[in-house]
Amino acid sequence: MTPNIKAPVPSPGPGGWLNQTIAGAGVTSALGDFCYETTTVILPGFLAVLGIPAAALGVIEGIADAIASFTKMVSGYVADKFGHRKFLVLVGYGMTPLGQAFIALAAGWPVILLGRIVSWFGKGLRGPLRDAIMVQAITPETRGRAFGFHRAMDTIGAVAGPLLGVFLLGWAQSLRWENAAGPFRMVFWLTLIPGVLAVLAFLVLVRDPEKSPNPELKFFSTLRDLPARFKRYLAAVGIFGIGDFSHSLLILAATQLLTPSLGVIKAAQLAGLLYVWRNVVQVVTSYPIGALADRFGHRNMLVIGYALGVLTAALTALAFAGAESLALLTGIFLVAGLYVAVQEALEPTVTAEMVSQDTLATSYGALGTVNGAAKFVSSTSVGVLWSAVSPIVGFGAAAVLMGTGTIALLRIRTEQG
């Protein structure tokens, strides 16, 4: 039997959507991103000084994404069946600094992989449950703005963290270290501070508006009974995701393209700043994109975002074909920031348009699973094609797959009926 879902009443705020839960989720995500995005931006340089190749980075990021994706599916179902979503989100945020500690201790890729798995397991555990809490704290008419605001806050941490990380990395070089990995390790240790603060922020600020369990919910029957329209949407997301490589590879691409003229450390710093630029673009555009989606349709805006993803991969292949320049790399990270802003803000809102409230967390889990499994294939294949054939082939193949997913999404209608 499906429980009786009571519609939550949002707290007062601009437009009726900026309540304590939305604001608290935003602050928490800003701190969480401050923690792990700092690692993301300097990890390629860390691997470079350890002598670990691009293929290993692709495998590490791909496995981490896959772990996160399957965790999302299970955590969403458990939350819909038993409730207690806030506790699981807190556990998820707590695993991020634990994973960072493993990376700080790593001397080779296996321990780095372990650290990314722990962090991404936590990310997968918290993601769909946090999104479900947010959806039930707002009205359907304001979802785009609320999720756009949340993604903007999320990315503020992804801007501030890497900026500080790049600065600290440069400063740490003036200290005495036994080897070139020392400055990187120091930055990894410092990321634990915002990671712990993220747990405390969610505990204090966020209220879960719906905790009713649904003990009759069955895992496989719930998945089987999801709307056909939503399953077609998941297929389009999956096809796009097979080409949607981890942007750690984009940072590595910039690092390799800039190394001949700048050296590896300065190239890693500049590549990190380019990633910060990508995140600045995401911060500035996330809320306007959400507001436009509320007015013109969430799926329509998501199609545009997917098309920008195709352009990102194509331009990266072009850079390796001999057209590399700082101006082109700046443009690539600009377009990447735009498409990620659209993707992260609107994939959850399109999902909410297609499914019922009593299976919302499970549906978000399914979305995360499809995304993560696809990105495992993408990050691994792009990294392997990069090392075995050429980066042009790797990023070119990504562009073709992302284009196919964009066309599939264009053919889906989100209207009821």
Tens digits of per-residue pLDDT, 265-293? 788 888 888 988 898 898 889 889 988 98
Residue 1 has pLDDT above 50, yes or no: no
Residue 381 has pLDDT above 90, yes or no: no
Structure-token pair, residue 211 = 């905790």
CA distance 355 to 343: 19
Q: Which residue stretches of 51-108 are H helix?
A: 54-82, 85-105
Sign of CA dihedral 350, 355, 361, 363: negative
Place of tokens 């990620």: 340
pLDDT digits (tens, 9 = 90+) for 55-104: 777 778 778 777 777 787 777 777 776 666 788 889 999 998 899 899 88
Higher pLDDT, 270 or 8: 270
Q: Which residues contact 174 (CB under 8 A, 6 or more apart)?
A: none
Q: What percent of the chain has pLDDT over 70?
A: 90
CATH number for region 18-206+225-410: 1.20.1250.20
Kindly report the average pLDDT of the chain as a whole number: 82
Domain boundaries, the chain: 18-206+225-410
